[in-house]
Structure 1
Amino acid sequence: MAPTTNVLITGCSRGIGKSLLTTYLSRPDHVIIGTVRDVNPSLSASLDALPKGHNTRLVLLKLDSASTTDASALVETIKSTFRIGHLDIVIANAGISNYFGSARVTPPAEMLSHYTVNTLGPLLLFQATASLLDLGSNPRFVAISSGAGSISGMDNLKVENTAYGASKCALNFVTRKIHMENEGIIAFPINPGWLRTDLGNHAAAEAGMEQAPVPVEDGIRGVVDRIDKATREMTSGRFMSGQDTDTFLGW
């Protein structure tokens, strides 16, 4: 029997997370732990109906990235209830983009909510899963970031997204620190591109565009390819692009 690859993906109910879930479920010999904020019968049935590769199964669990306790509770459930003893890939995908506004008018509450979900959430996820990653094969911690989090690329993105962009910039910092402090783990943030998700299309509308420029399938294909080929030497600690696989993004 082939060894099982264990993958944890957060924010799987729609958009990037659901596309990642669909991709990994199609592979053989995988256990995919997908998380959503609200596990309900309708959502569970629809996700469990996604095509699966041979000997692959889905474990759907609750994780609210705004909670400071859900990540540790999630890992305890993974270990005690499902007897999963290691993780090979953790993808911190869950995020929010609930407010658009300039730095002049962005309310403190919006800054705090975006930092809580987009920055603190992935950090708590890593802290909870680190010991399981240590036992994984070629363990990878991947943070789904955004071009909005690039300081050097700010001139090219004319969107009033102070709260979202700052939280993704901080996420990049946290992920690079994880890389520097954990020599046995491949850790990197990746910008999947401006995808046609609900979040991406909302941002496009704020920028005066009809829709985001990149089909979701194209973006996810690039992200998964980067994860598949990731190495400590060439990938870890860099800001990766899911679109241009030959270059790294500027911080």
Structure 2
Amino acid sequence: MSRKVLITGASRGLGYELVKVYHSNNYDVFPLVRNEESAYKLSIEFPQKCFPIIADIGQDNCKDIIKTSLELHTKEIDIIINNAGVSGKEYQIEKVTSEEMLELFNIHCLGVIRTVQGSLDSLCNSSNPRIINVSSRLGSLTKMSSDEFKDRYFSYSYRIAKASQNMLTVSLYQELRKKGIHVSSIHPGKLTTGTASADADMEASEAARYIFEWVDSLSMRQSGKFVEPNVGDMPW
């Protein structure tokens, strides 16, 4: 039986590269995208074993869309990769807006909750279920408070949203370990994407390969951690 993965934020960047690497390793891939154009492009590029889901994780109705879409094709899902995200802008407190803060919290935290809620029944039917939340080194309270990033201008909203997402990972781990579901946060590396930091040094395709290899080897013993694949544990 084919293994199955759901990947959010799958239309570009790391999400797209994850779709490619999982598809090339014979997974049934369920890429979650926000519009029909992105879904069509993926279905043309990957005509077999790829089942795009059109949903916006920023909206509550995505829970039902995910659940219904999965049930059309499978009774189980083995891996959820919560990769969808948006970047922040304002790094000075006098310029921070509630709109930006709410937008990032909605995607990075509530979006993860909605995705898990929509796929939980399918995860529970897997013999090796895993939830992987794509976080960031900027969500590490330890690293941020150490002055490692002194004089670096990272947005309030992104740092706070990722730190909150890390707490969500811990909370999910503490609940879902009773169901045998692995939950981890990852820092994917310093990616050379459109919103890359000045010290970015890794292509998204390389990061996707490392993530695939790491996730493929996971067991429940490694659950509840914050990790940079191919490097090691990250401090919370």
Residue 99 of structure 1: how far off its partner (Å): 1.9
Q: CA deviation at 1:243?
A: 4.3
Superposed counterparts of 1:62-211, under 5 Å: 62-79=54-71, 82-154=72-144, 155-157=147-149, 158-183=152-177, 184-200=180-196, 204=197, 209=198
Aligned equivalents of 1:95 and 1:67: distance in 2?
A: 14
Cα distance in 1, alignment partners of residues 195 and 57 from structure 2? 17
Gaps in structure 1 of 5+ consecutive residues: none
Return the alpha-carbon distance in structure 2 between the equivalents of residues 15 and 105 of structure 1: 28
Indicate whether 1:47 and 2:12 are aligned: no
For the structure 1 residues 250 and 124, does the alpha-carbon distance in structure 2 shift closer, same or farther, using more than 3 Å as the test? same
Structure 2: how far apart are the matches of 1:224 and 1:37?
23
Comparing both structures, which one devotes a greater share of its residues to helix? 2
Runs of 4+ with >4 A deviation: none
How many percent of aligned residue pairs carry the same amino acid?
26
For residue 14 of structure 2, the aligned residue among 8, 16, 20 is 16
Residue 50 of structure 2 is matched in structure 1 by: 58
After TM superposition, give the deviation of residue 68 of structure 1 in Å: 1.5
The alpha-carbon deviation at position 130 of structure 1 amounts to 1.3
Tell me how far apart the structure 2 counterparts of residues 250 and 4 of structure 1 sit (CA, whole Å). 35
- The offset of 1:31, in angstroms, is 1.4
Structure of greater relative contact order (alpha carbons < 8 Å, 6+ residues apart): 2
- Structure 1 equivalent of residue 225 of structure 2: 238
Which of 3, 6, 18 is the equivalent residue of 1:5? 3
Count residues with an aligned counterpart: 230
Per mean C-alpha deviation after superposition, the further-off stretch among 168-177 and 68-77 is 68-77
The answer (yes or no) to whether the contact 1:195–1:212 under 8 Å persists in 2 is yes
Mapped to 2, the partners of 1:48 and 1:88 lie a distance apart of 21
Report if the CA contact (8 A) 2:66-2:115 is conserved: no
1:132-186 deviation per Cα after TM superposition (whole angstroms, max 9, x unaligned): 1111121000101111111111122323311011101111111111111112100
1:39–1:60 Cα contact (<8 Å) kept:
no
CA distance in 2, matches of 1:24, 1:112: 32
* Matched letter for residue 249 of structure 1: M
- Displacement after TM superposition at 1:213 (Å): 1.8
Q: Kindly tell me: are residues 106 and 50 of structure 1, through their superposed partners in 2, closer, same or farther at Cα, counting changes over 3 Å?
A: same
C-alpha distance in 1 between matches for 2:209 and 2:90? 28
Q: CA deviation at 1:66?
A: 1.1
Q: 3-state DSSP class of the match of 1:34?
A: strand
